[in-house]
């Protein structure tokens, strides 16, 4: 069943404020990185020009002086950009909503409501499941008691027939409820145990092939007190 997730408003606002703050800082970070990148380019250009002049025996003094001046100026730019970035980090106020507040209010203002909603959904199901299982056991007891007298008469006849020589073998008979196939097992108690074993296995991911999810507890289930 798809669940409509309730939004934690305080967390959403905290993330929005954080995103806005990060966006403001981003431009200063980009400016600083751009300045550093330009400085690296100029330093590479100086090295390449110097290497080429030596390799080919040419005079690149004027060009090297110009690049060196550009490097000096760019270093000043880098210093300013990094200083600005440091200052903006210090000067920019933190988000109005703090991360501590988000955590502190999570349980009382959000999680407790989700927990209550979940409890209201699953507890009636477990209550009904328990009542149904116990009702099956009560049915077993009542059927067993109701047909016990006839079963005893049959078992007495089995013994009498064998003792009188009417039967070669003892024709053992089983009480109808004891031989009943309940949830794929012989007898009610075995059936209940098999059901509980399937429940246990499902918690480990083993889903019964005939399992059908029930979203809401049926309201038509008739309950009769014992």
**pLDDT confidence band for 222 (50 / 70 / 90):** low
Sign of CA dihedral 27, 32, 34, 35: positive
Q: Which of 6, 218, 3 is nearest to 106 (CA)?
A: 6
d(CA 53, CA 75): 24
Q: Please answer whether residues 68 and 46 qualify as being in contact, where contact means their C-beta atoms are separated by less than 8 angstroms.
A: yes
Q: How far is Cα 175 from Cα 173, in angstroms, rounded to an integer? A: 7
Domain ranges of the chain: 9-97, 119-202
In this prediction, residue 24 carries a pLDDT of 85
Q: For 212, how many CA atoms within 13 A lie in the half-sphere containing its CB?
A: 3
Q: Output b/e per residue, 18-28; b: 16+ Cβ within 10 A.
A: eeeeeeeeeeb
- Residues 197-217: tens digit of each pLDDT: 999 999 999 999 999 999 988
Hey, which residues does 186 pair with through a beta bridge?
181
Question: Among candidates 72, 75, 178, 196, which has minimal Cα distance to 133?
Answer: 196
Contact 125, 216 (CB under 8 A): no
pLDDT at residue 221 is higher than 70:
no
Is 226 a residue whose pLDDT tops 80?
Answer: no
Q: Phi-psi bin for 159: left (phi > 0), alpha (psi -120 to 50), beta?
A: alpha
Determine the average pLDDT of the residues in 4-10: 94
Beta bridge partners of residue 182, listed in sequence order: 185
pLDDT tens sequence across 9-66: 999 999 999 898 888 888 899 999 999 999 999 999 999 999 999 999 999 999 999 9
pLDDT higher at 3 or 159: 159
Break the chain down into helix, strand, coil percent, rounded to 5. Answer: 70, 0, 25
What pTM did the predictor assign? 0.65
Residue 224 above 80 pLDDT?
no
Per-residue pLDDT, 211: 93
Residues 156-186 have pLDDT tens digits of 999 999 999 999 999 999 999 999 999 999 9
90: confidence class by pLDDT, cuts 50, 70, 90: confident
∠ CA 134-138-141 to the nearest 5 degrees?
140
**What are the tens digits of pLDDT across the range 99-140?**
999 999 999 999 999 999 999 999 999 999 999 999 999 999
């Amino acid at each position: 069943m798809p669940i409509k997730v309730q939004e934690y408003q305080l967390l959403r606002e905290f993330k929005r404020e954080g995103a806005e703050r990060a966006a403001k800082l981003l431009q200063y970070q980009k400016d600083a990185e751009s300045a550093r990148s330009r400085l690296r380019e100029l330093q590479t250009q100086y090295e390449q020009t110097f290497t080429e002049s030596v390799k080919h025996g040419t005079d690149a003094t004027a060009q090297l002086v110009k690049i060196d001046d550009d490097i000096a100026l760019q270093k000043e730019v880098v210093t300013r950009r990094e200083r600005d970035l440091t200052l903006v980090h210090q000067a920019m106020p933190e988000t109005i909503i703090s991360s501590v507040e988000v955590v502190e209010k999570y349980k009382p203002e959000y999680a407790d409501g989700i927990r209550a909603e979940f409890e209201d959904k699953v507890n009636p199901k477990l209550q009904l499941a328990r009542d149904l299982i116990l009702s099956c056991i009560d049915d077993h007891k009542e059927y067993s008691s109701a047909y016990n007298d006839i079963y005893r008469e049959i078992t007495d006849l089995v013994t009498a027939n064998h003792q009188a020589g009417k039967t070669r073998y003892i024709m053992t008979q089983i009480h109808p409820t004891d031989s009943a196939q309940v949830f794929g097992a012989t007898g009610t108690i075995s059936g209940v145990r098999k059901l509980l074993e399937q429940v246990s296995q499902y918690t480990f991911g083993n889903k019964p092939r005939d399992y059908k999810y029930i979203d809401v507890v049926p309201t038509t289930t008739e309950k009769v007190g014992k």
